[in-house]
């Protein structure tokens, strides 16, 4: 994916070449070319991911880590190779630090129940921010209820930005864990996680970063970040649903008890006593999502094969173009205007409910998300029941954004 400067490509990125890798982008919806602007909810898959999963299903499927037969060995090798790809993708120290889970939600629940719950005493504190996804709120509320710990919420400003100083000010001797998003799904805000992690480390506070919205947009190096846990989902980074990753620092994972019991996570079982397996298997009870992990490994390969500076520049150009085009529409207010933003635009149009807008845009083949984005406290903060959200990937085009803006304007005129 080399950067080729051509006059008809405003930012010099050959978007058509990358689009050809995603079969679904060629389809039409309601007679119009699909404009898929809901990547924050789930991104589409390139041919290589689809083919890797198809090849596994057709040629290699068997249960892993079980049989001595050929298929089982092939399936095991493919599954564990996928883990190695993830190790490289986030620069983990070893394969002991990469746990396959169902997704970001399960990863956070695992940390809440297996790391936090045994540790927390009544009066201890867990620190989150106001812009978290429900998946990074509810597991902590549950563990607080179980242990008598308190959930402390750091504020956002009117732009939807998180100020590191405001979060650090809430770190106390009772703070046991900081759990925050890398990128906000509802607003696009990129959080100052380097400063937050550094401040937490000097105070002996563990850190969990919800990277669901980050890994598809920016390189993530967990060693450079220095976080204790990092969670993300396959399907938001061009891989399949039902598979995700919990990265954890080996020292912490070693000390944590398993969170589910069953096959795979044991070394030996008698009715008197069970000996747990080592990392990472200790946290992977039961037959895992084998084809999902293989698809995720292929997604990693796909992303690492991109010119990430070029895709990032294209996404930034899309964000700039969308912000400018939508800002021209009367009565439209962009929700989330932090200086450091990922490539998504949340917005509200006075007099047009987001759900009506979503239906009207769908008639034009344009897919956006409407609703509370599983971040009801964010909606409450901005005094809105819901917003419309267009979230971009590097395969989106300037023309798709122009169609979005035209559709929004058309909807607005309908309801005036």
Partner 1 sequence: MELDDLYRDVILDHNRRPRNFGALEAADASVEGFNPMCGDRITLRLRLADGAISDIRFEGQGCAISTASASLMTEAVKGKTRSEALHLFDRIHQLLTDDAAAADDELGKLAALSGVREFPARVKCASLCWHTLAAALRSTNPQALSAVTTE
Site for partner 1, rule CB under 8 A: 353-356, 359-360, 363, 370-372, 376, 379, 385-386, 414-415
* CB closer to partner 1, 30 vs 203: 30
Q: Residue 57 has what DSSP assignment? A: I
Smallest gap from residue 155 Cβ to partner 1 (A): 22
Smallest gap from residue 361 Cβ to partner 1 (A): 11
Query: 3-class DSSP state for residue 268?
Result: strand
Nearest-angstrom CA–CA distance, 123 and 121:
6
* CB closer to partner 1, 363 vs 402: 363
* CB closer to partner 1, 279 vs 388: 388
CA 374 to centroid of chain Cα atoms? 13
* CB closer to partner 1, 234 vs 371: 371
| β-bridge pairing 344-349 and 387-391 | antiparallel
Residues recognised as catalytic: 374
Query: 3-class DSSP state for residue 44?
Result: coil
* CB closer to partner 1, 160 vs 354: 354
Smallest gap from residue 261 Cβ to partner 1 (A): 32
* CB closer to partner 1, 240 vs 354: 354
Which residues are CB-contacts of 305 (< 8 A; sequence separation ≥ 6)? 1
| Exposed e or buried b per residue across 264-281, where buried means at least 16 C-beta atoms within 10 angstroms of its C-beta | bbbeeeeeeeeebbebbb
Question: For the chain, how many residues are written?
Answer: 416
Strand partners, 333: 348
* CB closer to partner 1, 242 vs 354: 354
Nearest-angstrom CA–CA distance, 157 and 171:
18
Smallest gap from residue 370 Cβ to partner 1 (A): 7
Nearest-angstrom CA–CA distance, 20 and 241:
22
Tokens of residue 295, six digits:
């698809």
Smallest gap from residue 338 Cβ to partner 1 (A): 23
Are residues 209 and 182 in contact, defined by beta-carbon separation less than 8 angstroms? yes
Residue of 37, 40, 131, 41 whose CA lies nearest to 322: 37
Task: Estimate the share of the chain in helix, then strand, then coil, as percent rounded to the nearest 5.
Answer: 40, 20, 40
Smallest gap from residue 379 Cβ to partner 1 (A): 7
Strand partners, 177: 126, 206
Smallest gap from residue 172 Cβ to partner 1 (A): 34
For CA atoms 217, 218, 222, 228, the dihedral sign is: negative
């Amino acid at each position: 994916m080399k950067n080729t400067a051509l006059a008809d490509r405003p930012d010099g990125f050959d978007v058509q070449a990358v689009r050809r890798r995603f079969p679904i982008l060629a389809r039409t919806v309601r007679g119009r070319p699909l404009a898929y602007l809901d990547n924050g909810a789930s991104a589409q898959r390139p041919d290589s991911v689809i083919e890797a999963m198809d090849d596994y299903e057709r040629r290699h499927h068997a249960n892993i880590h079980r049989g001595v037969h050929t298929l089982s060995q092939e399936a095991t090798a493919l599954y564990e190779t996928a883990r190695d790809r993830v190790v490289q993708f986030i620069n983990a120290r070893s394969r002991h630090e990469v746990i396959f889970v169902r997704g970001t939600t399960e990863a956070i629940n695992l940390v809440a129940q297996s790391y936090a719950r045994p540790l927390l005493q009544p009066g201890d504190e867990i620190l989150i921010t106001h812009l978290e996804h429900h998946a990074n709120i509810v597991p902590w509320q549950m563990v607080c209820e179980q242990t008598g710990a308190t959930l402390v919420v750091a504020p956002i400003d009117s732009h939807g930005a998180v100020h590191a100083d405001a979060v650090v000010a809430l770190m106390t001797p009772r703070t046991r864990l900081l759990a925050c998003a890398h990128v906000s799904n509802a607003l696009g805000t990129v959080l100052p996680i380097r400063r937050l992690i550094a401040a937490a480390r000097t105070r002996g506070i563990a850190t969990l970063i919800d990277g669901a919205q980050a890994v598809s947009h920016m390189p993530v190096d967990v060693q450079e970040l220095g976080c204790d846990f990092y969670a993300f989902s396959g399907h938001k980074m061009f891989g399949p649903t039902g598979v995700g990753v919990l990265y954890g620092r080996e020292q912490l994972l070693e000390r944590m008890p398993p969170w589910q019991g069953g096959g795979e996570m044991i070394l030996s079982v008698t009715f008197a006593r069970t000996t747990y397996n080592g990392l990472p298997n200790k946290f992977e009870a039961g037959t895992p999502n084998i084809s999902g992990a293989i698809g995720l490994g292929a997604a990693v390969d796909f992303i690492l094969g991109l010119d990430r500076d070029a895709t990032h520049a294209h996404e930034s150009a899309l964000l700039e173009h969308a912000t400018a085009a939508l800002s021209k529409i009367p009565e439209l207010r962009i929700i989330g205007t932090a200086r450091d933003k990922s490539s998504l635009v949340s917005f509200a149009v006075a007099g047009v409910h987001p759900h009506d807008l979503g239906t009207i845009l769908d008639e034009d083949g344009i897919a956006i998300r409407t609703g509370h984005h599983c971040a009801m406290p964010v909606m409450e903060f901005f005094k809105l029941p819901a917003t419309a959200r267009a979230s971009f990937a590097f395969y989106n085009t300037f023309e798709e954004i122009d169609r979005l803006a035209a559709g929004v304007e058309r909807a607005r005129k309908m309801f005036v």
